[in-house]
Chains A and B, each alone.
Chain A
Amino acid sequence: MTAAPSRLLLAAVLVASALAAQVTLLNRLSLPGATPDLVLLVVVALALALGPTFGLVTGFTAGLALDLVPPADHEIGRWALVLTVIGYLAGLAQAETRRSAFVPLAVVALAAAASVLLYAGLGALMADASVTWVAVSGLLPTAVAYDVVLSAFALPAVLAAVHRVGPESVA
């Protein structure tokens, strides 16, 4: 891990602001179905821009923050585990992003679905009574749709911030 400190700082600032917007604004909109997941989008965007190592570390940190920030009321580590996996896998797609503009969108859609399924799966393992097929299937389509729409704004914004902070490092 020899990341430029400026990038780590940028990631911290982005995750923190996404987290604040998530709990005080996005979650309160009470849209039908799922909630647009800005924290997930920031993790995916940073992973796509900076690779799997950066992705998984950002994912773990952002997930742990999601587990701790009130009103979180689940076992600490659930989001950390989910976002570590997603950050890593999204980072593996870094090289593919140059091929087509649709790659990032596909990654976002997959990440949104994976986050719901992985989080619910962990709940099912722990016999969480609120995780039911009805609840999960109600969340899946809206989670993917909201995140893909939101990513149209969030991804370019994060990428622009990354490029401003430092030139793209040589792969």
Chain B
Amino acid sequence: MNRDTRRTRLLLALLLVTSIGLITLDYRAESDGQRSPLDGLRSFAAAVFGPVEQVAAAIAGPVGDAVHSVSELGDGRGELARLRREKEELTRQLRTSALDRNRAAELDALLRLTGAGRYRVVPAQVIAVGAAQTFSWTVTVDAGTRDGVQPDMTVLNGDGLVGRVKTAGPTTATVLLAIDPNSSVGVRLEGSMEVGFTTGQGLEDLLDLQLLDGQSTVVRGDRLVTFGSQGDTPYVPGVPVGEVRGVRGTPGSQTRTASISPYVDFSALDLVGVVVQPPRKDPRDAVLPPRPRTTPLPTVTVTETVRPGAEQ
């Protein structure tokens, strides 16, 4: 049992061959664009492990949030004034549950966005996240086919586009995030018909934009919404995606590329909505928040009038 015997090596070879066989089966179907013979195994696992993850997430959720907020505190060392303000804020928050307030705010933002775009969504909570080592950016949400969630539906939250449903189990669904390198989304520049597509870079705060027209003018601060896929799957139109952070490539080349800061904070995904019914009309730019107007700093002029006889 403990030693490296011939039987051990035989077992090793057997299991290695099994693994390679599984990979080959799955990979061949995937590259041929067919349903994998292992999809049944996958949905069985989703049906079995999904509910387990829901329970585990309910236990782990508050722990993770606490750790996350501690690691965020570390960002601003020595800012005594800020911490003091935060302390006051935290004591206030202690009265109501901070977690509930956070959820309420997220739900509020989601309602605002879906109302503006007339999307019908099923709200869902992120319960599990894929490891960075897998090179794929996916999360599991706690809504599945029983809630009306189907593969290739758009997923968003109060800030904007999150991704699309990759697979759906009975009570859970796996979402491919927009930042996954294999994820590409058709987008349109606000207020124009300039279209292009974003691709994930495997980073939490960056998307790459390719504009189809090499002549198009795009500048820092331009905002993007989804263009809408054919038949509204996988992406419905009008969902805010992000803002142009920088432009690369010279005008006149085949395509223009730009870096985009996504609106969604992919490192802290919690409440999302799965669009189960697309809007009847393209909401165009209506879902984007009103542009923060740059108000010029008011110039204060102080005039002092000296009244004769006022002094002393």
Would you call B42 and A68 a contact (CB within 8 A)?
yes
* A52-B4 in contact (CB<8A): yes
Residues of B within 8 A of A72 (CB): 130, 134, 138, 174
The interface on chain B, measured as residues whose beta carbon lies within 8 A of the other chain's beta carbons, has a size of 68
- Are the C-beta atoms of A70 and B11 separated by less than 8 Å? no
Q: How far is the CA of A1 from the CA of B140 in the complex (A)?
A: 36
Q: Are the CB atoms of B2 and A51 closer together than 8 Å?
A: yes
Q: Identify which of residues 18-43 in chain A touch chain B, using a CB-to-CB cut-off of 8 Å.
A: 20-31, 33-35, 37
Chain A residues positioned under 8 Å from B7 (CB to CB):
1, 53
Contact with B along A37-64 (1 / 0, CB 8 A): 1000000000000111110110010010
**Residue A129 at the chain B interface, CB threshold 8 Å:** yes
**Option from A30, A85, A116, A171 in Cβ contact (under 8 Å) with B3:** A171
B:1-55 near A, CB below 8 Å: 1-5, 7-8, 11-12, 15-16, 18-23, 25-27, 30, 38, 41-42, 45-46, 49-50, 52-53
Decide if B181 is an interface residue (CB 8 Å cutoff): yes
Give per-residue flags for B162-198: 1 if the beta carbon is below 8 A from chain A beta carbons, else 0: 0000110100101110001110000000000000000
A151 interfacial by beta-carbon distance below 8 Å: no
Other-chain contact of B19, A23, A51, A63, A94 (Cβ < 8 Å):
A63
Q: What residues on B are CB-neighbors of A73 within 8 Å? A: 130, 134, 136, 138, 166-167, 174, 176
Please classify the interface of chain A as helix (H, G, I), strand (E, B), loop, or mixed, using the class held by over half of its residues.
Answer: helix
Query: DSSP majority for the B interface?
Result: helix
Considering the complex, give the chain A residue whose CB is closest to the CB of B266: A30
Are B202 and A135 within 8 A (Cβ)? yes
Let me know if B133 and A143 touch, CB within 8 A: yes
B161 interface hit (Cβ, 8 Å): no
Asked if A27 and B63 make an inter-chain contact with CB atoms under 8 angstroms apart, the answer reads: no
Question: In the complex, which residues of chain A have a beta carbon less than 8 angstroms from the beta carbon of B133?
Answer: 34-35, 37, 115-116, 119, 139, 143
Across the interface, do B129 and A23 meet the contact criterion of CB distance under 8 Å?
A: yes
B-chain residues with CB within 8 Å of residue A76 when the two chains form the complex: 22-23, 25-26, 38, 41-42
Kindly state the separation between the CA atoms of A21 and B128 in the bound complex, as whole angstroms.
Answer: 10
In this assembly, does B306 line the interface, its C-beta being within 8 Å of a C-beta of chain A? no
CB distance from A127 to the nearest CB of B (A): 9
- A130-B180 contact in complex given A71-B138, A171-B2, C-beta closer than 8 Å: yes
A120 interface contact, C-beta 8 A: yes
A81 x B20 contact (CB < 8 A): yes
**Among A28, A52, A60, A139: residue with most chain B CB under 10 A:** A28
**B64 part of interface (Cβ distance < 8 Å):** yes
Give Cα A116 to B131, complex, Å: 11
With both chains docked as a complex, state the minimum distance between the C-beta of B143 and any C-beta of chain A, in angstroms: 12
Measured between beta carbons, the chain A residues less than 8 angstroms from B202 are 130, 132, 135
B132 at the interface (CB under 8 A from A): yes
Residue pairs across A and B with Cβ atoms less than 8 A apart, 27 shown, are A1-B1, A1-B11, A23-B140, A24-B59, A25-B63, A27-B129, A27-B131, A27-B132, A28-B60, A29-B71, A35-B133, A51-B3, A68-B41, A70-B46, A70-B172, A71-B174, A75-B23, A76-B25, A77-B23, A78-B19, A84-B15, A84-B19, A92-B4, A116-B133, A119-B133, A126-B27, A169-B2
Q: A residues bordering B, Cβ < 8 Å? A: 1-3, 20-31, 33-35, 37, 50-54, 56-57, 60, 63, 67-78, 80-81, 84-85, 88, 91-92, 94, 115-116, 119-120, 122-123, 126, 128-132, 135, 139, 143, 169, 171
**18 further contact pairs, Cβ within 8 A, besides A29-B67, A75-B27, A169-B1:** A20-B56, A22-B131, A23-B130, A24-B53, A25-B60, A29-B64, A30-B268, A60-B15, A71-B128, A71-B138, A76-B38, A84-B15, A92-B4, A129-B181, A130-B202, A135-B202, A139-B133, A171-B2
